[in-house]
Amino acid sequence: MRVLFGVASVVAMVGMLWGSVTPARACSAGPDYDPVADSEVIVAGRFTGWRLLENARRWDPKTEAEPIDDPKYYGSYDAIRVHMVVDRVYKGAVAPAIEMVAGNTLSVSNESATVTYQWVGSGGACGAFDTDPTNKYGVLGLTIDEFGRYRPHLLRVFYIGDEPPTEFSGFRLERLLPLVPGNMPSSGGIPTSEPTFPLAPAAALAVLGPLVFLAGAAFLWRRGG
């Protein structure tokens, strides 16, 4: 009887401790996290495709430390290169077409001669893509690693959708309001499609500029008369 009582006590204590522990959420950030400050460049544009990086190094956590200094290592999952045509830049300077690399967003398995692609993304690896990004429109903050490669991350995804956002609202997009309307890619070029971002500040200047000029000219004409 005493043994049963002791076992019951241990089970109860374990249950109390388990209930008091808050589970850690993958890819979570603190309340002070600023995705704008954490991004070296912030771009908006259309994803035109992706491909696997065949020469990427595989990592076996059971036998070795993470090879973070190896330029052929991109992350714990299968490495991909994602292409984007940029039509708006909110931070930094980039070319009209860029590539980003990620090793935390796609898992490829080959069993029974069948290749399966699983977009893991936010499922624990902090990847930026939960689905195939091809033809999607994205607003992403990127960092530049020590090898000069653009790297996306879940916490720096401001928006991914079928079409450009029509307004800067929501937890992430509203952080970009001070940077609107942004700039064209640094090396020029015509974007593939006109962005539908709200460009109210630029439009206001375009309208008010000539009015201010005319008002000043009328004032000087009166004084001269």
User: Is 21 within a domain?
Assistant: no
Cβ count within 10 A of residue 108? 13
User: Is 91 within a domain?
Assistant: yes
Residue 222 has a pLDDT of 52
User: Which pair of structure tokens corresponds to residue 12?
Assistant: 């109860």
User: Is 112 within a domain?
Assistant: yes
Interval 79-109: pLDDT, tens: 999 999 999 999 999 999 999 999 999 999 9
Interval 21-55: pLDDT, tens: 333 345 778 889 999 999 999 999 999 999 999 88
Interval 106-150: pLDDT, tens: 999 988 788 999 999 988 689 999 999 999 999 999 999 999 999
* Count of structural domains, the chain: 1
Give the total residue count for the chain. Answer: 225
How much is the mean pLDDT over the chain?
79
- In angstroms, the CA 36 to CA 59 distance is 31
pLDDT at 213 over 70: no
Residue 184 has a pLDDT of 96
- In angstroms, the CA 50 to CA 117 distance is 13
- In angstroms, the CA 213 to CA 111 distance is 71
pLDDT at 5 over 70: no
User: Is 14 within a domain?
Assistant: no
User: Is 10 within a domain?
Assistant: no
Most confident among 7-11, 112-116, 200-204, 209-213 (mean pLDDT): 112-116
pLDDT at 170 over 70: yes
User: Is 4 within a domain?
Assistant: no
Which residues form the domain of 81? 27-210
Query: How far are the Cα atoms of 48, 129, 158, 162 from residue 132, in angstroms, in the given order?
Result: 11, 7, 17, 12
Residue 206 CB burial class (10 angstroms; 0-12, 13-18, ≥19): exposed
Instruction: Say whether pTM exceeds 0.75.
Output: no
- In angstroms, the CA 146 to CA 149 distance is 8
pLDDT at 199 over 50: no
Residue 1 has a pLDDT of 47
What percent of the chain shows pLDDT beyond 90? 56
User: Is 19 within a domain?
Assistant: no
User: Is 142 within a domain?
Assistant: yes
pLDDT at 13 over 80: no
